[in-house]
Homo-oligomer: A and B are copies of this chain.
Amino acid sequence: MNRQGAGVLRLKSRPSVVAWHAHVGRKEKQGPLGSWFRYYSEDTTLGESSWELAESRLQQLAFEGATAACTLQPDTLLGGDLQNQCTAGAYAARRTALPYVGLYGACSTMAESLALASLLVDGGYSGCAAAVTSSHFCSAERQFRFPLEYGSQRPPQSQWTVTGAGCALVAPHREGRPYVEQVMFGRIIDLGITDINNMGAAMAPAAADTIMNFFKDTGSSPGDYDAVYTGDLGEIGSRLLLRLLERAGYNLTNHQDCGLMIYDRATQRVGSGGSGCGCSASVLCGHLLPRLCSGELGNILFVATGALMSTTLFQQGESIPGVAHLLNIRGC
């Protein structure tokens, strides 16, 4: 068995992330990681007639960029997004003629898709698998909150959905490329948060659960990693995560959150930080993988978190379940 404890999966063949590509919007280009995002669109419609199709186009651009950066042709596509029935991914995948595995993990989808892609390659079921994920501020706002035209006020604990997509290609181990050593799928944790504007609080317990289980099962500790990157907990969720881990005896001094890295909260008016599947996807594919490849990062945990509610269940008064999937990625 390649399985340990509560569910750490060890990838013996150490599949490599051989290519990656991120494509973001204007606001993300203007943020602190702007210089890392080489590919972006000033016009967030991307020339499409709807926000939903614009998001689909983001996925297509990320996929095409990643495949252009690689001599291998992917044979499997795994992806997802936040749209109802995951249409951004499905409509983008129409153009690829690849077997398509549709996923829904809310904002954890980049980790979920990359973990499954790595397992398919490690198990010998794929020679090159593509993991692709996106979100778009405008499609998410009108679906989860209000149409932009309402001009509704945003409470300070809310987060700003990233307009962006990331795609990573996984293939058998190759020197000079980052590789996936371990993955862990998270459990669904619901501590009863019912504020749809406070996703960070809903997801933090799931992130804490996955991270603690991983440390326990592997016998490792925070200091063994250069950094632990969570997906999009934002300011509030990040603080909660650190407190939950502290209570359990883990002092996570090397924590970073993609939702806090991608925007400048002081000047960009994004509330508690960035969010959306595209947040961790574009930070991973635009910033972390290049740094892992250059040797600047040697050993990281990438823990993307998702809040699994819908507006229907929220309006029925249900609380918001969270989930967090983890990858241990090694640099070159």
Chain A residues in contact with chain B, CB under 8 A?
1-3, 6-7, 9, 49-50, 52-53, 75-76, 80, 82-87, 90-91, 93-94, 96-106, 112, 116, 119-120, 122-127, 143, 184-188, 190, 308-313, 316, 318, 321, 323
Contact = CB atoms under 8 A, between A and B. Distances in A.
A274 to B, nearest CB: 19
A125 B316 contact: no
A185 B99 contact: yes
Given A190-B94, A312-B52, A126 B3 contact: yes
B323 A75 contact: no
Nearest to A80: B104
13 contacts: A85-B309, A87-B313, A90-B321, A91-B318, A98-B187, A99-B186, A100-B186, A100-B323, A103-B103, A119-B123, A123-B123, A123-B125, A143-B312
A275 to B, nearest CB: 14
Copies in the complex: 2
Which of A83, A99, A184, A311 has the most chain B CB within a 10 Å cutoff? A99
A126 B184 CA distance: 12
Contacts of A6: 99
B187 A99 contact: yes
Contacts of A50: 316
Given A124-B3, A312-B143, A103 B102 contact: yes
The 10 closest A-B pairs by CB, nearest first: A123-B123, A99-B185, A85-B310, A90-B308, A104-B104, A84-B310, A84-B84, A102-B104, A86-B104, A2-B124
A84 B312 contact: yes
